[in-house]
Amino acid sequence: MPTVAIIKPIVTEEENERRKQILYDILTRIAYKNIEEKDK
């Protein structure tokens, strides 16, 4: 995605991995919340 590259400064691989981990964590939490809501 070129737009993201333009807006964001260049990040290291390490920083990129950390951000991905945080993103996945948030997404899984949201997914689990949705599943729990459906079970009620």
Mean pLDDT of residues grouped by 10 in the chain (40 residues)?
Answer: 63 90 95 84
Q: Rounded to an integer, what distance in angstroms lies between the CA atom of residue 7 and that of residue 18?
A: 19
- Domain residues for the domain of 33 are 2-39
Q: Is the model's pTM score more than 0.75?
A: no
Residue 34: predicted pLDDT: 86
Q: Which residue has the tokens 């899984």?
A: 28
Is-contact 19 11, C-beta < 8 A? yes
Residue 5: predicted pLDDT: 58
Residue 38: predicted pLDDT: 80
Show Cβ contacts of residue 19 under 8 Å, excluding neighbours closer than 6 positions.
Answer: 11
Q: Rounded to an integer, what distance in angstroms lies between the CA atom of residue 40 and that of residue 23?
A: 26
Give the count of domains, the chain.
1
